[in-house]
A and B are shown apart, each in its own frame.
Chain A
Amino acid sequence: MTLSLDDVKRIANLARIEISEGDAQQTLAHLSGIFNLIEQMQAVDTESVEPMSHSQDMVQRLREDVVTESDQHVLFQSIAPQVEAGFYLVPKVIE
């Protein structure tokens, strides 16, 4: 399959990365090369193979339902770009 310039722009938008027309062209060239490499995967028949998400065959450990965390918002917000009255500030969200 071939990647198009529109694909590059679509995924850049999904990933929230600004991309100029020129950069999109160059990115397309790079990604196309990488996807040529990736295409090798399609040669293998994996019909009956279970996908593998984790390298260990383990099950989820569960945490007891107890409160263990205390208020650290002053520390955490000391490294925030913009805060006011305990809130993180962002440009207006329009719904």
Chain B
Amino acid sequence: MQWEIVIGLEIHAQLSTRSKIFSGASIAYGARPNSQACAVDIALPGVLPVLNQGAVERAIKFGLAIDAKINSPSIFARKNYFYPDLPKGYQISQFERPIVEGGHVSIQVGDREKTIRLTRAHLEEDAGKSMHEDFHGMTGIDLNRAGTALLEIVSEPDMRSSAEAVAYAKTLHSLVRWIGICDGNMQEGSFRCDANVSVRPLGTEKLGTRCEIKNLNSFRFLERAIDHEVARQIDILEEGGRIIQQTRLYDADRDETRSMRSKEDAQDYRYFPDPDLLPVVISGEWIEHAKKSLPELPEDKRSRYVKQHGLSAYDASVLTVTRELSDYFDQTVEMLPGQGKLSANWIMGEVSGRLNKEGLEIAQCPVNPEQLAGLLRRISDGTVSGKMAREVFDSIWSGEGNDADAIIAAKGLKQISDDSEIEKLVDDVLIAHPQQVADYQSGKEKAFNSLVGQVMKVSKGKANPAQVNSILKRKLSE
């Protein structure tokens, strides 16, 4: 049987506020245990939550960026369950009237574009951390993370492969950083994915029973966990079995998913509106203000790159992976009108390759957009060849010089583009290599390349290769 895979993602993005969502404690990562857990965070008797404006602001920005509805009033609710890293015995979250409802993002899978719909995004507080090692058989609880603002972003089950799921997760990961609401640090848990996975016979409508996979803190794990889960479900179904709705945990060490709890003993969270918090009203002015503070969004940039610079959809999506990379491109091309394609090729090729090799981010790139534009200008006007340009690029990168023109002059890298000069070089080569000339004229095409090589050699590589080609051809046919 042919199976169709159905995937929906729940993404928890930690918001880049300074303080927690309901208290004035810091959210800085890596502090000593419980040193950032204030009276509200440890749920002392009598303490009360007060909502952080910065968290609401970031949620609004996200809603605007995905073209969603911003609910006003928006309501906070309590989700009740017991867990040692949940100090109040309930998590303040949202149930009815989440702050963001609906919306969509478009993802790029290979050269195909697809729209993924979002169900909702709601604000909630993060839990603390449980440490299972080092406490002689007990568990240690650190509540520094408790109360950190989270945006839980829930998609519709619109993805049909692990590749689409990864593309969607990457798109959102890029977006939340792009609009400056989340640092996206997956190692530190700032961006976490849960996947709801089911399969159904291809061509059928009814959704299969789904399993939720938790603990996916890298794109690679997301992909592998989904692939494993899909294979597991198909195996069961093809052997005539039945999928049991459950929560599964991805174990990266063993590269497998295992069952955490099944629906039968599922929690009854007893959601109800939090009486300590009042309805959040978001004014039209606030929304307008947030709109104005948003940078140009990746989707808008992508279509502009295609239209304005004639880039392919693929190139446009690569350049908009991060806001920093696209800014680098924008700055470069601004100084080099009409050379979008050349700029894109260099940034995706030479620049990105070199950054990757050295493990640097675009913000740390030793060659700035102005320097790159200066170099590319000399390619486009024929001053240097591509090969020479790479040499100049290396020099700027390593700090040998600041400016392409200066390096070209200092190294004497200037290309020979003067026809009469090249004609003279060609004449000399033809005289010195009568055998190759004869070979060429007797039909041996290979001899032509050898003659080109000779010209380049005597010019010390500076002759413009295109001109060498055409002049040599003309002379040989004379």
The reply to whether chain A is a binding partner of chain B is: yes
- What is A's interface to B at a CB cutoff of 8 Å? 14, 16, 53-54, 58-69, 71-73, 76-77, 82, 84-93, 95
Bound CA span A66–B24, Å: 6
Of the A-B pairs whose beta carbons lie under 8 Å apart in the complex, a sample of 24, sorted by A's number, is A14-B268, A59-B73, A59-B278, A59-B279, A60-B277, A61-B50, A62-B53, A63-B24, A63-B50, A65-B54, A65-B55, A67-B26, A68-B24, A73-B34, A76-B37, A76-B44, A84-B140, A86-B32, A87-B33, A87-B34, A87-B142, A89-B135, A93-B83, A95-B249
Bound CA span A90–B137, Å: 10
- Taking the complex as formed, is B56 at the interface, i.e. its CB lies under 8 A from any CB of chain A? yes
4 new A-B contacts, CB < 8 A, other than A53-B273, A69-B25, A88-B141, are A60-B281, A61-B278, A62-B280, A88-B84
CB distance from B76 to the nearest CB of A (A): 8
> Does the CB pair B84–A72 fall under 8 Å?
no
Given A87-B131, A89-B141: A58 and B278 within 8 A (CB)?
yes
- What is B's interface to A at a CB cutoff of 8 Å? 17-19, 23-26, 32-39, 42, 44, 50-56, 73, 76, 82-84, 130-132, 135, 137-143, 249, 260, 268, 270, 273, 275, 277-281
Given A14-B270, A69-B25, A86-B33: A59 and B139 within 8 A (CB)?
no
* A60, A62, A90, most chain B CB atoms within 10 A: A60
Q: Which of B19, B33, B51, B55 contacts A67 (CB 8 A)?
A: B19
Q: Is chain A's binding surface mostly helix, strand, loop or mixed?
A: loop
Bound CA span A54–B38, Å: 27
Q: Which of A67, A87, A88 contacts B25 (CB 8 A)?
A: A67
Q: Which residues of A contact B143 (CB under 8 A)?
A: 88
CB distance from A25 to the nearest CB of B (A): 23
CB distance from B37 to the nearest CB of A (A): 7
Bound CA span A70–B44, Å: 16
Q: Which residues of A contact B275 (CB under 8 A)?
A: 53-54
Bound CA span A61–B279, Å: 9
* A73, A76, A84, most chain B CB atoms within 10 A: A73
Q: Which residues of A contact B280 (CB under 8 A)?
A: 59-60, 62
Q: Which of B19, B42, B260 contacts A66 (CB 8 A)?
A: B19
Bound CA span A54–B277, Å: 9
> Does the CB pair A92–B268 fall under 8 Å?
no
> Does the CB pair A93–B132 fall under 8 Å?
yes
> Does the CB pair A63–B34 fall under 8 Å?
no
> Does the CB pair A93–B84 fall under 8 Å?
yes
Q: Which of A59, A60, A62, A71 contacts B36 (CB 8 A)?
A: A71
**Pairs A-B, 5 closest by C-beta atoms:** A65-B54, A68-B24, A87-B140, A69-B38, A86-B33
Q: Which of B32, B42, B52, B273 contacts A76 (CB 8 A)?
A: B42
> Does the CB pair A62–B25 fall under 8 Å?
no
> Does the CB pair B139–A89 fall under 8 Å?
yes
> Does the CB pair A95–B260 fall under 8 Å?
yes
Bound CA span A16–B142, Å: 22
Q: Which residues of B contact A89 (CB under 8 A)?
A: 135, 138-141
Q: Which residues of B contact A60 (CB under 8 A)?
A: 51, 76, 277-281
Bound CA span A14–B302, Å: 50
Q: Which residues of B contact A91 (CB under 8 A)?
A: 138-139
Chain B minimum-CB-distance residue to A10: B268
Bound CA span A60–B141, Å: 31
Bound CA span A71–B421, Å: 77
Q: Which residues of B contact A66 (CB under 8 A)?
A: 18-19, 24
Bound CA span A63–B277, Å: 12
Q: Which residues of B contact A68 (CB under 8 A)?
A: 19, 24
Q: Which residues of B contact A73 (CB under 8 A)?
A: 33-35, 37
> Does the CB pair B51–A62 fall under 8 Å?
yes
Bound CA span A76–B36, Å: 12
> Does the CB pair A67–B73 fall under 8 Å?
no
> Does the CB pair B249–A90 fall under 8 Å?
no
Q: Which residues of A contact B53 (CB under 8 A)?
A: 62-65
Bound CA span A14–B25, Å: 31
CB distance from A47 to the nearest CB of B (A): 18
CB distance from A90 to the nearest CB of B (A): 4
> Does the CB pair B35–A88 fall under 8 Å?
no
Chain A minimum-CB-distance residue to B38: A69
Given A62-B51, A67-B18, A76-B42: A93 and B24 within 8 A (CB)?
no
CB distance from B65 to the nearest CB of A (A): 20
Q: Which residues of A contact B19 (CB under 8 A)?
A: 63, 65-69
Bound CA span A86–B273, Å: 34
Bound CA span A84–B37, Å: 16
Bound CA span A53–B19, Å: 28
> Does the CB pair B38–A87 fall under 8 Å?
no
CB distance from B17 to the nearest CB of A (A): 5
Given A63-B50, A65-B53: A87 and B82 within 8 A (CB)?
no
CB distance from A70 to the nearest CB of B (A): 8
Q: Which of A62, A77, A92 contacts B56 (CB 8 A)?
A: A62
Q: Which residues of A contact B281 (CB under 8 A)?
A: 59-60
Chain A minimum-CB-distance residue to B279: A59
Chain B minimum-CB-distance residue to A63: B50
> Does the CB pair B52–A63 fall under 8 Å?
yes
Bound CA span A73–B44, Å: 12
